[in-house]
Structure formats: structure tokens, C-alpha cells
Structure 1
Amino acid sequence: MDSIASTSRRIILFGQQNLQNSILIGFIHQRTNIDCQLISTAEWHPEWNTFEGQTLALIDADCARTERLQDLLEQIFDQNTDIQVAFFNTQSTSPVERLIAWPMVNGIFYKETSQQQLVKGIAGIFEGEFWLSRSLITQYLGRTRSKPRKVTQNANLLTRREKQILSLTATGATNTEIAGHLNVSMHTVKTHIYNLFKKIDVSNRIQAVNWAKDNLEDIVLESVV
């Protein structure tokens, strides 16, 4: 696999300081030419937010209890920057549906995933792809999809800005791209997304976009380009 661009990308690997993870970050750097830092505590450091490029938080699913991992996801979500998240060393019995419900979790890699497959998935996530198994997507959609609700006066449910952000979300734009397009802060974008998710009773972007298709016939898809 060819090396990909490195200067505007970085990986922060949350996991134990052991030989396995030390070898892993060396392998990732060798194959991708992306700087990879190993952190042994499941805690986000605010000083990392000064980095202006793409960040992938690669989290060892074995590094902490589920509750602590949820706390880390909460910290990452609250940052005023665009951070992608992926989990590795995930067991088949892990509560992955709770993880992929977070809007920034784009990858799940299981214990049997090879290093080569992990590197391929990391490259895909940096390019905007979701790296989730077909069976996981099938199970998740099977449990979360339901008959669309017909709500009256849906056009008045969201504010103009919330509709604008929802239309940009439907194009696949990241929070960073939305903030730049609207000339607002990342915190403002996340606040609007949180509020509109709460109003329409959804938990992720896919559900929000599906809601818009069912309930907002007049929504105009904007472009960040």
C-alpha cells in the first residue's frame, strides 16, 4: 500500500503502553506516513485542539471499561474541532451499537482484523468513508429503522439555521466544513446539531437525513464547495 499524505493528518491511539501497541503505531506510521501518538489514559487533552489538520482518535476497545470509553467519546464530542473516531480490538460481544450511535464514530475494527486491514480502514476513514462491517450495518439498521412518522407542521419545527445545517449534513459535509461555510464556530455548529437532533428525536446523522427526506419536502441541499 502506498503512503498517503501525512502533514495534515494525525492519529492519537488510546491504549495501553505495551509492546503490541508500540509495534502497531510503528506499523501504521510506516505504511501511512501519518504521525501516530500512543496515549495510555482515556482522556482528551485540550491542547491537542491547536492542530489544524485531520485527527483520528483510534481507541483500543480493551483500554478501559465501557463507561470510561463513553466518557472519552463525550469529551471528544465536546471539543471545538472535527475529530473522527474508530475502535480497534473490538470483541464481537461488545455493545457496538452504543458506539456507532455517536456521529463521529466512523470505524469498528475487531480483534481478528489484521494490521493491513486496519491500515486500509484508517486510510478510508481519512477519506470520509465509514469502516463498518456489512453485518453490523445490517443489524443496526434492522433494529433502528421504523415506519416514518407523519408530523404536522414539520416545516415550522426547525429554525432556518437548523434547516441549513441539516441540508449541509445531508451532503456529507463535516462539522468543520459546515462551520467554515456558515462562518460560525465549531461549538455553534455542534449546538445546532444537538438541538435539531433533540427536536426530531434522532441520535445520528443518518437518521436526521432520513427524517428530512420524509418530513421536509422543501429542503434545499446546499454545497460547501
Structure 2
Amino acid sequence: MQNIETTSDKYTILLVSEPSMTITALISCLEKEIKSAVSLVEKQEISEKLSTSSGLVLIDLSAFEGDTVSFVKQSLAPFSEQHVFALFNAHDLSAKELASWPFIKGVFKKEDDLEHLCHGIEKMLSGEYWLPRQKLAELIHYYQQNNNNAIDYSEICLTNREQQILRKLVTGASNSEIADSLFVSEHTVKSHLYNIFKKINVKNRVQAVFWAKNNLSVIGLDYQG
């Protein structure tokens, strides 16, 4: 497998887990492939280490259970805008379980190999989500069934550019693809997405897609999919 050429050297890669020979070996392999330092973060170190860095955080679900998972989740939540988060070694999470991690942008299953993991990290560092299509569909269905916070569209005013970006978001386009199609920078796309999320009162890309599917017709745009 070829080493991945990414911008990951600009980021800190943190692995929230417990010390073990397996984790030590994984960290060594990741560092070799992504050409960036990977640091182990134990649960009691989360606040200290995440507050002094910015990057991608892998959460090893196989290392925690029960109340410890809740503790880890609560400890990570304050840093949702500072880092990119992904669940690692995830079992077959239900949509409800996944929705309880609203700041998560990626999911890696136990059976995923190193190449798949590195490719997902590369995409996430480029601003994309890394969720299996089935999980994405399950999440959208979950939000449809539990949409208790209806929004009055009359109070929302999306600009023409925000409408364009929202429509492309629904097609599954990545930030880079949206930027290329609209001849703007990825930074501009991210800024628009931030404003869109704030206006329509959603926390992540999946919730925005759900909102768009139910409201694009209101703003005169057809959803194709």
C-alpha cells in the first residue's frame, strides 16, 4: 500500500483508547502510512490533550463500555468545533446510538482494514464525511421519525448561494466537489455551510440533508434522489 499524501501533517491525530500492544502497533502503522504523529489519549486525559491541539480524533469504542462511554462522550462534546471526530472499532451501531454522537463525522467498523482507515482519514481531513451509505440512510430515517423540532420556514432566509450549496449537499457532493462546481474555495463552502447549519438549526451534514429533503420544495428547489 502506498503512503497517503494528505495535508494530515498540518493536523494532530489523536486516538482515544486504552494502552495495549494492539493499539501501539496500530499507532505505528498509522504514523507510517499517513506521515503524521498519532498520539494515544486515555479517557482521563481528554480535556487536557484536546484543549491544546486541533485535528482528527479517533474514538476506540472497543476500549469503553457502559458508563465509561457516556463519560467519554461528555468529555469530547466541548471540543466539537475544534476537532474532527470519528468512531473507531464500532460495532453495528443503531441509528439512535449514532445520533447520540451528533459531532461525529466518520465511522470505522472493526473489520475495516488499515488501507480503508487511512483513506477515510484522508477524506475527513479534506472536509468530507465518512459514513457507510446504509448508516447514512438509517440516520436520515431516524431523524424523519424523530423530528420534534419543526422549523417555520418563514423565519429562515437562505441566500441564493446557500440554496445552491444546500442542493448540492443533498446530492452527496463533498466540499471540494461543491467548491469546484461553483468556482469558489473550499473555505468559502465551509463558511456557507456553517451559516446554513445555524439558520436551519441543525448540528451536522446528515441533519442538513434531512432538512433539505423536507424543505427544498419550499424554497423552489427540487430534490433529486
- For the criterion TM > 0.5, the same-fold answer is yes
* 1:144-159 to 2 correspondences below 5 Å: 144-145=143-144, 154-156=153-155, 158=156
Give aligned-pair identity as a percent. 16
The Cα shift of 1:196 comes to: 2.5
The Cα shift of 1:85 comes to: 1.2
The Cα shift of 1:13 comes to: 0.3
Partner Cα distance (2:75, 2:209) in 1: 22
Counterpart for residue 221 of structure 1: none
Partner Cα distance (1:215, 1:43) in 2: 47
Please state if 1:130 is matched with 2:132. Answer: no
**Length-normalised TM-score, structure 2:** 0.65
Structure 1 contact 86–106 (Cα < 8 Å) conserved: yes
* 1:13-24 to 2 correspondences below 5 Å: 13-24=15-26
RMSD: 4.0
Aligned residues: 195
Counterpart for residue 56 of structure 2: 56
- 2:42 aligned to which of 20, 40, 43: 40
Could you report, residue by residue, the CA deviation over 1:24-72 in whole angstroms, capped at 9, with x for unpaired residues? 01111100012211112166325533435xx111011122225433443
**Length-normalised TM-score, structure 1:** 0.65
The one-letter amino acid paired with 2:216 is K
Counterpart for residue 32 of structure 2: 30
Counterpart for residue 10 of structure 1: 12
Counterpart for residue 196 of structure 1: 201
The Cα shift of 1:103 comes to: 4.0
The one-letter amino acid paired with 1:123 is E
Partner Cα distance (2:130, 2:3) in 1: 19
Structure 2 contact 90–108 (Cα < 8 Å) conserved: yes
The Cα shift of 1:78 comes to: 2.3
The Cα shift of 1:10 comes to: 1.6
Where do 5+ consecutive residues of structure 1 fail to align?
183-188, 219-225
Counterpart for residue 91 of structure 2: 91
Please list every run of at least 4 consecutive aligned residues from structure 1 whose deviation after the TM superposition is greater than 6 angstroms. Answer: none
Greater helix content = 2
* 1:70-219 to 2 correspondences below 5 Å: 70-79=70-79, 81-92=81-92, 94-95=93-94, 97-100=96-99, 102-145=101-144, 154-156=153-155, 158=156, 167=162, 170=166, 193=198, 196-197=201-202, 204-217=207-220
